[in-house]
Amino acid sequence: MGAEKFWNDPDQAKVILKERALLSGAIDRWRALYADVEECETLLDLALEADDEKSAEEARKLSEAVEAKLKKFTIEVMLDGDDDTCNAIVSVNAGAGGTEAQDWAEMLFRMYSRWIESKGFKLNLIDYQAGDEAGIKGVTFSVSGEYAFGYLKTESGVHRLVRISPFNANGKRHTSFASVFVYPEIDDTIHVDIDENDLRIDTFRASGAGGQHVNKTSSAIRITHAPTGIVVQCQQEKSQTRNKELAMKVLAARLYQLEKDKQKKKLQAMHDTKDEIAWGSQIRSYVLHPYQMAKDHRTHLEIGDVASVLDGRLDPFIEGALLSGAV
């Protein structure tokens, strides 16, 4: 930053400033942890020397707090991928199975909404397609927060639900599937070239709940990228222009992730000892009947309290996947 021509290229300067802020933050957190450990040691020495149970209990509580901070810091240090600091774009889609799968997709959307809320992140709805009878066919939303993509990238894959069907009068057990895709929301420092000639842009009337404007004007946008076949749409905003901006942002993120996946597959081909990570692989099962269990198939982590998981308790699975190198 002290270089004479540093500010001549504002875009590059922004990248360096962002990197500096992340590194400085990591160093500051490490120094704070080091100071906490020293304080624990001093407090414990004093407690042992004076045979003071109150000081020993205080040292124990402080050490537990430091351990929790250290675990969080360990995760953050591992989030060192090119896109881990980006915001995330998440798409949840119901699998085959009609109402059952659509209800499961809505349950997943609620689960992620609760997790996002618990982290203090911000959710912005981009596209919402209601189910025919219940649930949702699909939903796309952005998540803004520190390391949002770094955390949520662990959720990409197929999620499986086993339960007694609430839509079946005979009370039979049913298995439903839904897919989750997570992309980094690219910022101004990353440029994706999109040829306008490759795009087919359709407008249509937005569906679902909303004010009088929503269903009476063709404000919704659907963009098809011919070379890849990627289709994105946005119908949440009143303005057609704003819907197009959001749809283009989602398209850019998907094209960027597509290129990253191609690069990843090339690297995996070179290192055949490393298991391939496929977007379509089943990563987790949520069983509500005949027993209660949420199991991650990558890390083999099992949690018996499925209700808490579906209520947003995802940190054990996310941290387990990151620490095991499953993503």
Contact yes or no for 85/143 (Cβ under 8 A):
no
Spatial strand order of the sheet with 173-185 comes to 122-130, 136-144, 87-94, 173-185, 157-164, 282-287, 293-296, 302-303
Q: What is the pLDDT along the chain (327 residues), one digit of tens a residue?
A: 888 899 998 878 887 887 888 889 889 999 999 999 999 999 889 888 888 888 888 888 999 999 989 988 888 888 888 789 889 999 999 998 789 999 999 999 999 999 999 999 999 999 999 998 999 999 999 999 989 999 999 999 999 999 998 887 787 889 999 999 999 987 655 668 889 999 999 988 877 554 444 455 678 999 999 999 999 999 888 889 999 999 999 999 999 888 888 766 755 554 443 333 333 468 999 999 999 999 999 999 999 999 999 999 999 999 999 988 877
How many angstroms separate the CA atoms of 315 and 321, rounded? 10
Are 108 and 142 members of one domain?
yes
How many angstroms separate the CA atoms of 248 and 265, rounded? 26
Are 285 and 203 members of one domain?
no
- Angle, CA 196 vertex, CA 195 and CA 197 arms, to 5°: 90
Q: For residue 97, tell me if it sits in a domain.
A: yes
**Domain boundaries, position 43:** 6-78
Are 64 and 93 members of one domain?
no
Of 248, 267, 286, which closes a domain?
A: 267
Q: How far is CA 285 from CA 139, 173, 238, 248, 318, in A?
A: 20, 15, 38, 33, 14
Q: For residue 110, tell me if it sits in a domain.
A: yes
Are 175 and 93 members of one domain?
yes
Q: For residue 47, tell me if it sits in a domain.
A: yes
Q: For residue 190, tell me if it sits in a domain.
A: no
Are 181 and 96 members of one domain?
yes
Which residues face 183 on adjacent strands?
A: 89
Predicted confidence at residue 190, as pLDDT, reads 64
CA-based radius of gyration for the chain: 23
Nearest to 88 by CA among 253, 232, 244: 253
Are 102 and 221 members of one domain?
no
How many angstroms separate the CA atoms of 11 and 22, rounded? 17
How many angstroms separate the CA atoms of 184 and 312, rounded? 21
Of 267, 284, 314, which closes a domain?
A: 267
Q: For residue 191, tell me if it sits in a domain.
A: no
Q: For residue 1, tell me if it sits in a domain.
A: no
Total number of domains constituting the chain? 3
Are 244 and 104 members of one domain?
no
Are 173 and 283 members of one domain?
yes
Nearest to 283 by CA among 182, 184, 147, 186: 182
Are 16 and 46 members of one domain?
yes
Are 125 and 166 members of one domain?
yes
Q: For residue 259, tell me if it sits in a domain.
A: yes
Are 289 and 173 members of one domain?
yes
Are 286 and 307 members of one domain?
yes
Whichever domain contains 172, its CATH number is 3.30.70.1660
Of 267, 286, 303, which closes a domain?
A: 267
Which tokens belong to 305? 């309290």
Whichever domain contains 244, its CATH number is 3.30.160.20
Q: For residue 98, tell me if it sits in a domain.
A: yes
